[in-house]
Structure 1
Amino acid sequence: MLEKLIPAKADPILGLGKLFAADARENKIDLGVGVYKDADGKTPIMTAVKKAEVRLHAEQTSKSYKALAGDEVFRDEMRKLVLGDAVAADRVATLQAPGGTGALHQLFEAMKLLNPDATIWVSNPSWPSHVAMAKHLGFKTENYDYFDPATSGVDFNGLMVSLQGMQAGDMLVLHGCCHNPTGANLTANQWQSITDLVLEKNVMPLVDIAYQGFGDGLQEDAIYMRTMASRMPEMMVAASCSKNFGLYRDRVGCAMVIAKDADSATVTQGNLATLNRMNYSFAPDHGAALVAIILSDSELRAEWEAELEEMRLAMLTVREDLAEALRQQCNSDHFDFIKDHRGMFSRLGLSPEQVEMLRVDHGMYVVGDSRINVPGLSGGRVAPFAKAVSMVANISK
């Protein structure tokens, strides 16, 4: 039967990583995979995480199963971190999941229970997993306009026109702060307009938030989504701890479903637990236990928040330095949008041919659509990268 299988398509980002590893040039720079990097080019373990691991090792007495829905302290702390007091606690059903991707998968599964005929609306561009996962689960998908290459900002008029096609019972996938791969974020007024449309169309919004704390601040990054949540009778959220806790390989995520009232949330909670049972039973606990320890301890939380803020400010510095270096190299303000974007990513607006020249001629590894992982430029890497970009973009003094 295995002869029926066809070769799987290679992941372009992971493929880029293999090319980078095989490149013998000492001055090569990897800007592909979206992981935070410090000035030494390493992805560090946060100090609060290390301290929490010491405490967990000393205090944990069993590796027995937790509840199907996951650790209650972790789930409650994540609800408070993401939603704050925007929604009453008894209206929110929560689920521990293996990473933000696992949370997204379980919420798509929940949507199948609600409306298997729904169309899932996903931004263009988005992350490949959004559409691939939705289609794998049998959903129809539609793209909506998001990014304007001419301005390197959000094409909000195009977005709103695209979303007029939504039907009652559909699902709209929205990016939380810093999550769109372009680096361009929605404004407060734009979130408000989208919320108005979602309510009018009777559509289920799903906000995928994986970078809280990487944009304008831990609370600031969630405020627009919280405003939407406060107005919605029903809503879903997929949250990740990979980036803001640095727990990439430990796969820590939390799915949240906001219900219209406490009774509906209780029924939803039971169904979410059942979905876990049918997929992987119990989510991995180690990373989630660390998050629970950090968020529920005032000293560790303060230390974590301070380190997260350092990471955020470091990325902003790289953005400002890169925009200025490109301005000097190109004698143009063409790339000034970089300092206005937020989070780990920006799309430079280079052609695939120019991206290939960056890699082949200069050892600069960038995803084909010209998305760069901004923290990969820390530690003195801005200047050589800016020079290479100016050369391939044919913008010179």
Structure 2
Amino acid sequence: MSERVADSTIKGFLYQFNKTILEIVNADDEDVITVEGVVEDVDVLSASGELEAIQCKYHETKEKFIPSLIFKPLLQMAEAYDRNPSARIKYTIFIYVPNEDHCQKDIDPSILNSALATTDQSLSKIVSRISGKFDKVEFLKNTRIVFGPSLDEIECSTKAALELLGIQGSDVDTLLYPNSIEKIAKLSSIKDETERQITKAKLYTYLSSATHTAISKWTLALRNRSEILKNIKQQLSSYFSQNSRDRYFYIDKNEIDDYEEKVVVFFGNYIKKYYSKPSHVTAPTFIINDNIEAIRDLEFRLYTKGIKANTGLVGNSFVVDHFFRDPMKKINRNHIEEREFDLRLLAMDSEQEAINHRKGDDLYLVCSNTPNNIELTDVNFYQVGISSFNELEYVIGIRNSHE
């Protein structure tokens, strides 16, 4: 996928997430919003039983609106209506196209007729599922198109709406807004529809208890990326100033752009900063989503750099107590002359349950999604879903810049 297409895709999702947050914050207390609903991107069920099904489209590269831009969502809505014409559903296509005034319009019957007559193969499959009894007139009475604002504009509106929630002591730009985006992104990935439902009260409760900024590809795609990274660095600084913290890092190697090239350098930088003095009392534990063979190769690469890793292996067998033992040290005049090992290195793919055998003080999840086998009870955990070791070193205080 080209960088331009990838950027466009991310913006499309952010546009949808912002619209979802606005619907939640502006909803009545009894309304239930379903993220990635049964019908469309956002389903808003009011207390009266009426459902508004909203599909979002973001087309910043188009110079003007042309009907074909809404053929797919319009046909998908027509199919949903045809399956259940008696349902109390209002259909909304929420779309951004440059040079279009923000407004609401009825959809002209000629646009629907053109969509139904399309020769596009992928759209023709949808048309083939619409019955001959489909009532176009009634469908269009319940369908509208809303030309929305740009991504930057809707972001400003979303932040203003979150401000009105009145959550005291929480910065909107670097805490409430990115955490709201991350919350909706996570809900959208859940398979069970009932677990994708949220209310204004639930969002309020979630944001009220948030003390750290969740970092993921979605929050780092926001305009204030540098400000968010700076904020999470400040949030974590108190923990990394304590020499006695027992720290675990789970790293998804597939989400780090420079993993193979920089992982050994990162471990070396971490040891130099946080495990090089007698006052640094606890060896760090790093868990990688890889097999034991790859971890042993990494162990050798570290050894050639003068860094000794404990992989928990006794011969060819993994022994969990051997993995979690404390390293023997030889200290002379406040200087570590020799240490049995500098870090623990666990192959998640080979030993999935070992991470839960002994829990540390802090668990840093360098990933977008937490593996199901990691237990998060009784441990401080932080989502640090960055994409490079430079950014990771920055937020945990090893370097002064994330560039």
| TM-score bracket for this pair, using the shorter chain length | under 0.3
Point out the structure with the larger strand share: 2
